Structure 1
Amino acid sequence: MTVLVRALRPGSRPDAEAFAAVRRACVPAMLATADSIQFDLAHAHPDSRYRQLVAEADGEIIGTAQVGIAYDSPDPGQGFANVYVLPQRRGLGAGSLILRTAEEYLAAEGATTVFSWVLDEPANRAFATARGYRASRSAHFLRLDLAGGTLPPRQELPAGVELRTGAEFGDDPRALFDLDAETVADEPSDVATEFTDYEHWLAETWNHPLVNRELTSVAVMDGRPAAFTLARTDDASRYGSGMTGTGRAFRGRGLAKLAKNDSLHRARAVGCTEAFTGNDAGNEPMLAINKWFGYEICATEVRHVRDLG
């Protein structure tokens, strides 16, 4: 059986559908659709040098990789390559070939370090170790049964706080960009991130096909967005938290809980049956909040890193 690696064809619906199917099979907690795969490629920042690679075996796409440069990090030379191969098609050399192709591409683009998320399973970790990657921080995927579980009751809003949907911010969500940038900057990570490009945030995040503005909830205090949860849905009854955070000046008041609880209640009301989120394993405040909602850990990834050259 011959395995080859190539770039995903821009505009190819079959390619995008197969890419999304591999992602869903390997990491069910990560929402992916053909539309979102095509959107990610079309709207990637030029400086990210973003590529989507696929591994084919006799014409069937059995593996994928998201590859690029962390252009929004203040530290230069950091690349990423997240590789997934269908469980039933492992052992054919697809993972090795697609990773090598990704590393060669990143090196040519000036990367000196490659970060890769690896599912916390013995075979996957052994694969990464054998190829020179060392384990770093870990992160959990969590799942909440919206159909059969019980959400915490809605809480009375504190004085001066109101809840709004993302849709109410319409086409001028600059205040949400500022809030997102502040919370992302404080998020635990191996790769520091700085949001400075509002126009690109609009194109890549706010207008993303998975983002559901109606289910996005924003806690507003004194007329200013103080906390939010960005909702994502795949139009197939699955809900994901894109980001939940609180501005530095408003932390410690339970506002993120208010926003997320509001969003989850409304998601269940419109037919979402399961919700997913992700947390750095060391982010104990958010893990505690999600445990309060009833989320349970369903998978763990460990970030690995390798120095090129």
Structure 2
Amino acid sequence: MSASLRLFAPADYAALCDIQNAVYSEASVTVEEVRLADDLRDPMCKHRRWMVEMEERPVAWGEYTQRIHKYHPHKFFLNLFVLPTYQNQGIGSKLYTHMLEALQPFEPVQIRTQTQEDQSQSVRFLQQRGFREEQRKWESRLDLTTFDLGPYLEVEQRLSEQGIVLKTLEELAGDPERDRKLYALDWQIRQDVPATEPRSPISFELFCARFLYHPEIVPEAFIVAVHNGEYVGLSFMGAQPSSKLISTGLTGTLRSYRRMGIATALKLRGIRYAQQHGYTVLRTVNDALNAPMLSINMRMGFVKHEQLAILYFVKDC
């Protein structure tokens, strides 16, 4: 049997999710998530996606794309997924070669991709093709059914005594500059998050669509630290409908407000919300080099899942 490649079509979203979820069952995606991500892709980013079929059955998919938050006209990101039962049959190699050939008119200088620690075949596949690991992120999880907020009750009170209060996204709705302030704060915080490439700011409109009004963002768990009207820290959470797992996104503060317990207080407020609303597991992902945030998580009782470490690879063209 030979594998045939064709361009992705809108009718393929369900098959795409089935393939990806078979590879990464711990990080499942939905049709709605992928479709929305496609809709929110900045038009400046080059993108093309293919499906691979055997006997008219979708068994793999791949794409090249660009990331607007780390944009470079000649740098690309590849995604490639093959159903486990069809791996080691040359399908991934065929798709990878096809994507590289499709990129040549754009004169790529670097290609990046990612996989997980437990995907040993994928790691070997990349290493054999000249990719090298350049970044590692740890996934950590907190059991919300056993976490005790009791020892932390005074954390937020100490901040309040210094004039720092925590507000939800909804509680800040009366501030006409709220969204612009959050856009500026988010950008300042991200400057200090470990990264392998220079960051580029996204547009205000895209920020709002991705982080303030995205359907998976939980407004009541989007917490902002405010001091004398200035937004000085934030933490937000996202969850899929009907899921008992909730994820923490970016958590951070302005440089001048660090080592005051603000990040801890932000996380605790989010944890309280999650417990009160029936979530059982809190998931977060941190760069392996982000020692301050990893330390906060470990003190709270997060358990690092090393087998779920996300590995980022790069290859110079």
The TM tier, using the shorter chain, reads 0.7 to 0.9
The Cα offsets for residues 60-115 of structure 1, whole Å up to 9 and x where unpaired, read as 44434453123443654221113333434422333223333333344333432101
RMSD: 2.5
State the partner residue of 1:282: 289
Distance of 1:259 and 1:294 partners within structure 2: 16
**3-state secondary structure, aligned to 2:124:** helix
Alignment of 1:114 with 2:120, yes or no, is no
Aligned-residue offset at 1:148:
4.2
Alignment of 1:307 with 2:307, yes or no, is no
Segments of structure 2 that go 5 or more residues without pairing to the other structure are: none
The Cα offsets for residues 172-218 of structure 1, whole Å up to 9 and x where unpaired, read as 51111111111222211112212241112122333323222222211
State the partner residue of 1:210: 216
Cα pair 1:31 1:233 within 8 Å, conserved:
no
State the partner residue of 2:122: 124
State the partner residue of 1:167: 170
Identity of aligned residues (%): 25
**3-state secondary structure, aligned to 2:221:** coil
**3-state secondary structure, aligned to 2:156:** coil
The TM-score normalised by the length of structure 2 is 0.85
Letter in 2 for 1:288: S
Distance of 1:5 and 1:205 partners within structure 2: 35
The Cα offsets for residues 269-294 of structure 1, whole Å up to 9 and x where unpaired, read as 11222121111111111111111222
Distance of 1:29 and 1:291 partners within structure 2: 21
Distance 1:138 1:250, change over 3 A: same
For this pair of structures, how many residues does the alignment match? 305
Bigger mean CA offset, 122-131 vs 85-94: 85-94
Which residues in structure 2 correspond to 1:1-309 (within 5 Å)? Answer: 1-10=1-10, 12=11, 15-28=12-25, 30=27, 32-65=29-62, 67-73=64-70, 75-121=72-118, 122-150=120-148, 153-154=152-153, 155-157=155-157, 158=159, 159=161, 160-170=163-173, 172-235=178-241, 236-298=243-305, 299-308=308-317
**3-state secondary structure, aligned to 1:46:** coil
Distance 1:76 1:267, change over 3 A: same
The TM-score normalised by the length of structure 1 is 0.87
Distance of 2:246 and 2:54 partners within structure 1: 32
Aligned-residue offset at 1:262:
0.7
More helix by share: 2
Bigger mean CA offset, 29-38 vs 186-195: 29-38
